[in-house]
Structures are given as C-alpha cells and as structure tokens.
Amino acid sequence: MTRGRIELGDITQHNIKQLKRLNQVVFPVTYNDKFYKDVLEVGELAKLAYYNDIVIGAVCCRIDTSENQRRLYIMTLGCLAPYRRLGIGTVMLHHVLKICEDDGNFDNVFLHVQVNNDSAIKFYEKFGFEIAEEKKNYYKRIEPADAYVLQKSFREPKARSPGEVLETNTKTVAESSEINDCEATSPS
C-alpha cells in the first residue's frame, strides 16, 4: 500500500456509528452506549482517523482527575489491521500529546494494554511511555485478562505533606493501585 493522506476528523452524531463499527472490529472488548455518549462530548479528545478519506482508525480520550492528579486517559487508540504501520497511530498519538503539551496542566497521559499486546507496548514505548503497573484480571471476557498501565509523565506527582490522607480511595500509580475500569488499547 502506498503512502496516502492521513487526516483526523471530529466525531459527531452523524458518524458515531462508524466509530462503533470500527471499535467492534479493532478491539477485543465491547464498549457500552455511555462510552459513545461521552465521546460525543469531549471535543478534540476524540477523533476519527482517515486514510485517503476513508475512516480507518480512531482515538478517544478523557480527562481523569483521580489520585490527586490531572491526567489524560487514552480510552482507545487503534486502526484497522490493513492500515497499520503507515503512521496513522503516530498521527493520532501526536494529536493526544499535543493536547497535553498545549494545555500544560497534565501530570501524565496513560492507558491500559493487554499484557500480550507486544506491538502496542513497543509502539507506546517509542513515545516515552513506560509500564507503570500490571493489573491482574483487568479485562472481564478476554484472555489474557491482565493489563499493563502504560504512562508518560510530564512532571512528578504532587508531593503530599507527611500524614496527609488522599481524598480518594486510591493510591498513586507508584503505589500499585486501581486507576480506571476502561478497556483495551491497540496500536496502529
């Protein structure tokens, strides 16, 4: 396949069904209606990827403010198998990282990846992501059920004063705890 034109476009009420179909094909998990309703409300944090005007991928993120941090969570990033290794995932991930850079107030960006998805892990590592923790039995209906949390930090977590109690039930990633219960992320 020759190099083509890669563009990102908005996800709207008119093309949300394309995102649903794409996710059914690309990811081993099913996303509920709330996922798609939320995606319609996040603006630049969710984009369809086009290759020569054909929808072939998507990235969907949300802001996470748990664990006393402001983080960007990549819920999904993936493209159809025949279009992988053409730079489409790189374009989508650059879009996400630019949002973080332009905003300037994110502590990190993170995602979950199935532990056996070596190509996704290698893809994210090229952009400075590191395995922050392993979550046992993260996925409900796929094998292996374990996931890695991959994270790219922009600054150190905010220091807590001695004896300060977190306002949430969770600990920091460094303390190996729960983050979120979203689904798999695939490379492009």
Please tell me the distance from the alpha carbon of residue 8 to that of residue 157, in angstroms, as a whole number: 31
Residue 50 annotated as catalytic: no
Q: Which of 144, 122, 173, 124 shows the shortest CA–CA distance to 29? A: 144
Residue 14 annotated as catalytic: no
Q: What is the CA radius of gyration of the chain?
A: 16
Q: Which of 133, 140, 74, 75 shows the shortest CA–CA distance to 106? A: 74
CA atoms within 13 A on the CB side of 69: 22
Set 31, 51, 73, 139: catalytic member: 73
Set 31, 51, 83, 112: catalytic member: 112
* Catalytically active residues, by annotation: 73, 112
